[in-house]
Amino acid sequence: MITTVTLNPAIDRTMTGASLLPGRVNRMETVREYAGGKGVNVTKMLRRLGEEVTGVGFLGGFTGRFILHYLRELGVLCDYTEVPGATRTTLNLLTADGYVTEILEPGASVPANCEERFQRSFKRALAGSRAAVLSGSLPAGLPEDYYAGLIRFGKEQGVRMFLDASGAALAKGVRAAPFLIKPNTKELEYLMGKPLRRQEELAEAIVTLMERGLPCVVVSRGSRGLMTAVKQPEGYEIITASAPEVPVVNTVGSGDVSVALLVQELADAPDRPDAVRMERALRRAAAYASANVTTMESGVVSEETAERLMGDVKTERFPFCGKS
């Protein structure tokens, strides 16, 4: 069993149109709604990969019931905590000029009694899980170090903890040393407190975080693919994986798909996965993330498309040469 934690889920309302003009009336051509939020996208992808998943987090109102029904239909074991407010809706605007615009609501606040019930559901879920994934933003009412507390508890129970967050929630979560984090370039810059413009600078940042006690750091670089490092007897080896270009329908959720693949590949890996294991994990994650952009709904990836793309994923391995 794998536990997915989504503290601030959403209904993803995706609209398509010719263009988006600020300050003007914009008439969209199509509208679709999907269960979403980063952790929900991870959940959907893990189920498509055949994994048994328990989903926990906060849901409320009609929108929350929509997501709950969707996940149960997928066969997810749901132990979500109900909150008084409605689960948020995010708006994804896809226009023919190639732009993807996201409008994100803040989400419902979490009262103290709901947080206490969530803690009980989280502990129940971990009791039968080998790994847990903490994904996305924190709702109002929870402190910035909330993920850090969950990570520490999970590690005490012997559960492998994965974190995909941003801002202060990521920075404070890193201090609890989860097994793996997957920042994008901007999130890695936030952690390091400086711009990282060259590949050598990204590599140095990854190695720095690993030296601080993180076993795995995988950085998503958008269309340039994924990057990580592996400790070797003589130092560190950098591994990159980039997928071929594909027709882009919707880029939302590709990072979540890559997280799901990393979890599946590494949930049972040694504490320090070797280069062969990490290269395979990055290859699969890059292929599935690339396949995700060809679909309208996030986390619903054709295995046939992903497996075909995997043959065209380019990986590289080279030694880390020290500080740039």
**How distant, in Å, are the alpha carbons of 69, 117, 171, 251, 310 from that of 147?**
26, 16, 10, 26, 33
Amino acid at 178: P
Count of other CB atoms within 10 angstroms of residue 85: 19
Residue for token pair 């929509």: 66
Say how many C-beta atoms besides its own lie within 10 A of residue 80's C-beta: 22
Helix, strand, coil fractions of the chain, as percent rounded to 5: 40, 25, 35
**256 an active-site residue?**
yes
Burial class (CB in 10 A: 0-12, 13-18, 19+), 87: buried
Residue 283 CB neighbours (<10 A): 24
Helix, strand, or coil (residue 20): coil
**CA 280 to CA 236: how far, in whole Å?**
17
Phi, psi of 52 (to 5 degrees): -80, 130
User: How would you label 151-184 residue by residue, b for 16+ Cβ within 10 Å and e otherwise?
Assistant: bbbbbeeebbbbbbbbeebbbbbbebbbbbbbbe
Helices (H), 105-253: 112-127, 146-156, 167-174, 185-192, 199-211
Contact predicate 202/188, CB 8 Å: yes
Q: State the catalytic residue, choosing from 164, 256, 274, 312.
A: 256
Phi, psi of 199 (to 5 degrees): -55, -40
Phi, psi of 73 (to 5 degrees): -65, -30
- Residues designated as active site: 256
